[in-house]
Each structure stands twice: as structure tokens, then as C-alpha cells.
Structure 1
Amino acid sequence: MSEAKVVDRAREARIDKNLLGAVDPHVHSGPSIAPRAIDHLDLVRQLSEAGFAAVVTKDHDYAGVATAQLITKHYPELKTKIFSGVVLNNVVGGINPYAVEHTAAMGGRTVWMPTLAAENHLRWEQNASFAHPASTTKMRHATAVPVLDANKKILDSVKEVLDVIAKNDMVLASGHLHVSETWLIFEEAKRRGVKKLCFTHPEEIVGASLNDVKGIAAMGAFVEHSICMFLEGSKFKVASAEDLRHHIEAAGVEQTVICSDLGQVGVFSPLEGFRRGVALCMDLGYSDADIHKMVATNASRMLGLNAQAA
């Protein structure tokens, strides 16, 4: 065997080891009105074969908690636990405490603030080359879902949602809010007893600086990076490997979570995204212990899972 093949096999074995016990807290599997390359069941099958501990499915338009329950009940042999949550876009009534309470009662783990219907997202999309395919005729002309009033004060409905999140110990994720809104929402959430905060992809859409990343992590929030936005060959690539390093340094390894944010057509699978993400972190010089924290242990802590890091 050539030396190159030995090195390649050792590298692949190292990637495989780092993925044992991994958790992907942000996956866009289907069904969805947006084209998806993989459905929820096949996703869990693939991740189970790779030794993942858990996955959280996210759809911009519906809570996937019922599907998660069905897969858990009827496929007990699958090792990967599947969870879901709800995104507070127009389809579920926007900032809707009833939808959040129902999601919690069905075992949902994460509540995302508005994404495609966020005021910030709609402003961003006007100048972006990207138009999200998850839309109907009505949704293409979406009414924004605000979180602040005209005086930049948090809406009472948002406070009610935060109380439901706190009561049920769910994760509050920032979605596509502008970082200035995220600061206010997270500060209020902490005052109201929310323990689990997730700052969603600061590298894109939300207008965050590295100082924002550092400060929000210092609040105790986890900073979640969409690895598809850093990988060569990804149609979602907007940042470099060095950008990822700077983000990790800003938040610290202990508060950094890597997700795939994949499942779409025309790009590699969530599992392949994770494999490439681990390889990227290896190339950046991170130790296996630190990589495992970012792809497994930290997300498990964030979600309150009982699964132990492998």
C-alpha cells in the first residue's frame, strides 16, 4: 500500500471517529415545499450508520415534531434520535405562543425566531442573489413578522413566547433576525428564565461582527455555524476557512456549535457536509477533542440531551 493511501485511510478514520456521537441541530430534510434531496427518515438512517447521537430537523413552514415521534416509534433500531422544533414564520401564525406551546407538548426542542418572514431577511433578500424556494404565491409577498415595535421595544407576544420557551426549557434560536434584534431578544430571554440560547449563522444574513459573536457567546449563548457556508464546492459558500477560525476564536470552542444546514438539492448531503466540516477543522489545526466538542458535545449540551459524547 502506498504511503498516500495509508495517510488517506488514517484521515478518514479520524473523521469517522470524530463523528461518533455527533449532533446536527439544524437540518433541512423533507418533505417541504422547497425541493429537498433527502427526507427525514432517510436522513436518520444515514446518520445512524455514521454513529450520530441526534439530529434536529428544521422546516421554515411547519413543526416537524409529529414526524419525529413517528420515526422514533416505528424505527427503534435507528441509533440517531430525531427531534424537531418550530420556526415562527407566517405559516404558523408568526409570533404565536400557541404554536410554541403545542410544539413543546409534542417534544419539540428548538424555537426559531422568524427566518424567511423576518424583517431583516426580507430586507437582505432584496439585494441578494438568493431567493428561497420555500414559497407559494402568497408567501412570495410575505408580510414581515416583527419582533420589536416602532420604538424598538420587544413586543408583548414575543415576551409570551419567551415565557413558554423558559417554562419548557427549550432552545431559543435567533433565526434570521438582525443581530441588533438578537441582542435585545436574548437579553430579555435571559431575564425571563430562558437557559438555552442559539445564535444562528452569524456569518450570513444577520449582519453580525466578530465583536457581536464574542459578546453574545459571553452571554452564555451557543454560536451555531452553518458549515455549508464555509465549504468548497457548496453553493452556499460565503466565507473562508480562516473566517471560520476567527468565528471560533471569537466565541471560544466551548460555545461553538457546527451544524450542516443542509438537505437541499444541488449540494452534498448533511452527512457529507459534516464529514467535510470535520476535515476542514482538522486542516485548521484543531484537536480531535475540540472538534468533537463543536460537532457533538456542545450541541448535546445546548439541546439538553442525555447522550454522552463518544
Structure 2
Amino acid sequence: MSQSEQTIEQRIDALLVGAIDPHVHTGPSIAPRALDHLELARDASEAGLAAIVTKDHDYAGVMTAALIARHHPELKTKVYSSIVLNNVVGGLNPYAVEHAAAMGGKIVWLPTLAAENHLRWEKTANWAHPATTQKIRPASPVKVLDADGSVRDDTKEILDIVAKTGMALASGHIHSSETWKVFEEAQRRGVQRLIFTHPEDIVDASLNDVRGIAAMGAYVEHSLAMFLNGKLQTCQPEDLKKQIDAAGPERTILCSDLGQRGAVHPIEGLRQGIRLCMDLGYSDEDIRKMVSTNTAHVLGIEADLPEAGVH
């Protein structure tokens, strides 16, 4: 390894200290996962990450996160979880959201695999997600808007709970046009923390959508898995620069969206993503924002950051 390459690796090591992965797919899951939540927590702790947020399409991992915190106080990395409003938790189920909040959940994801948009997209993509519960029972689309395009009352009830509890609201796999309407209603109802989920894939978002939703005050989350060479790549590396520049590093957060069997390890995905951002010309200060401080802010976990991770 040359001296310059060694310096780059040292910079990446330093940026991983205090980093946060807010969207990672570890097990257990009905989909094949390469590692479980505890295994990732151990690996993340060794790398110096401040926190991870586990995401499963079918259950809130808040109980698992609580068990890891109780029985593994030696871990440096805080483990949080989230809830995704798909069929298995009852869709737009206020009871499930309130329970997840009471157990320390950090993110409420609007429907993903059960979203109307996702179900349409899967048909055109001729592909079935490995975590789909349609293998068990046909999906019942979880709708966030009424037929006239207005935000449904049950969606509004979820937004009120998110506002009251201070959790972050992520758009999931709903269409970008739906995200505009739900996020506008969310802000009217007092939701402070908004995350626009991977506009680069599935949700049919333009760069103007990215610019506009970021201008609303939302953070735009990009899935590094979709830009890195491997089984999950759907975009080119240069596309990431277009996405980041549309919102600006101040409104961008990067996640691995990894954990799938056969894909790169989530920590290695973060390493490669940081290296990609360096190659694209972003400063270490801007990368720190995108992998750490912006995420800490939208999740309300700034206290988790080590002193070395605050700039």
C-alpha cells in the first residue's frame, strides 16, 4: 500500500468513528441476511460507529435493540430500531407506532413492500423482493392518500403520533408525488424530522424532487448499496454526486442499506461509500455531515456522538 493510499484509509477510519448507519437490513428476517443485529453491533463497535438503526420490512426491532443494550454494555455503538408500516404490523397502525415509540424506536417508515407504488414497481421490474410476504399471503396495498389525492385520515393519525413522540418520518417506498403531500401535511401537524428515502430508486423521484423536498427541511437519504459495485447496484457512482449536489451535503444523509446475504458487509459498504465521496471531490467535513452529524440531528441522538465526531 502506497503512502497516499494509506493516508486515504486512515481518513476513512477517522470518518467511521462517530458515523451512523440509519438504514441497515440485518436479521433475523424472512429474507436471507448475512448477519444479525448483534453481529453488526459488534462489528460497528469495533469500527467506532456511534449508532446503527436496524430496519426490517415486517417488524419493529425495538425489543432486540433493548436486549442488546442491556446485555452488551461493552459495545460502543448504540443500537436503535424502527418500524415499517407494512401489512405485518397492520399497515397504518397507530397502536404499533405508539408502542415502537415507547420502546425507543427512532424512525417510522411509511409503507415499503406493501406500498401501492412498490407493488406497481415490482410488476414493471419483474422482480420480487426476498422479504416479500406475498409468498405467505397476497399483499394488501397500504395507501397513504385517498382516491382524490388527499392525505388519508389514518395517515394523519400516524403523523400526529410522530409529531408527539419526536420520531423521524421516512417516506419508504411511496411514490415521490405522494411524499410531497404527506410531508407537507406532516409539517402542518408538527412533524419536525423528515427523511426522503432513496430517491435514486423505486420511488420515481427527479432531481427537482430532491431539491424541493430538501428545501422543505427534509433530509434526503441515499442508499450506498445502490451506487457500489455488487448485486444491489442500480446507479452509477457519478449519479451519487448529482443526488448529493441537488440537496447539498447539509441536507444529505448516507446509509448502507446493506445486510443482505451475498452483498458487501454494511461496514465495508460505508467504507466504500466514504471512499466514493472522496473520489467525487467532497471534503472530509462534508462527508462527516453526511455519514454522522446530519443523521444524528434528524434522529435526535447528537449525544451519541463522540467528541472526535463533532465538527
TM-score band (shorter)?
A: over 0.9
1:162-208 Cα distance to aligned partner (Å, 9 max, x none): 00000000000000000000000000000000000000000000000
Task: Give the 3-state SS of the residue equivalent to 1:55 in structure 2.
Answer: strand
Query: How many pairs align?
Result: 306
CA contact (8 A) 2:133 2:139 kept: no
Amino acid at match of 1:207: D
Amino acid at match of 1:187: E
Comparing 129-138 with 195-204, greater Cα deviation is found at 129-138
Aligned to 2:177: 180
Aligned to 1:63: 60
Pairing 1:201–2:193 present: no
Comparing 136-145 with 111-120, greater Cα deviation is found at 136-145
Structure 1: stretches of 5+ with no match in the other structure: none
1:133 Cα shift?
Answer: 1.1
Structure 2: stretches of 5+ with no match in the other structure: none
Pairing 1:111–2:108 present: yes
Equivalent position to 2:290, from 289, 294, 300: 294
Pairing 1:102–2:102 present: no
1:65-96 Cα distance to aligned partner (Å, 9 max, x none): 00000000100010000000100000000011
2-structure distance, mates of 1:275, 1:182? 30
1:13-49 Cα distance to aligned partner (Å, 9 max, x none): 1110111100000000000011100100000000000
Aligned to 1:273: 269
1:139 Cα shift?
Answer: 4.6
1:137 Cα shift?
Answer: 5.1
Pairing 1:241–2:240 present: no
TM-score, with normalisation over the residues of structure 2? 0.96
CA contact (8 A) 2:24 2:259 kept: yes
Task: Give the 3-state SS of the residue equivalent to 1:83 in structure 2.
Answer: strand
Aligned to 1:153: 150
State the percentage of identical aligned residues.
64
1:134 Cα shift?
Answer: 1.2
Equivalent residue runs for 1:1-310 within 5 Å: 4-136=1-133, 139=136, 141-232=138-229, 234-305=230-301, 306-308=303-305, 309-310=309-310
Amino acid at match of 2:131: A
1-structure distance, mates of 2:123, 2:30? 21
Task: Give the 3-state SS of the residue equivalent to 1:300 in structure 2.
Answer: helix
Change (3 A) 1:191 1:246: same
1:140 Cα shift?
Answer: 5.7
2-structure distance, mates of 1:116, 1:208? 17
1:95-126 Cα distance to aligned partner (Å, 9 max, x none): 11111001001110000000000000000000
Task: Give the 3-state SS of the residue equivalent to 1:52 in structure 2.
Answer: coil
1:242 Cα shift?
Answer: 1.4
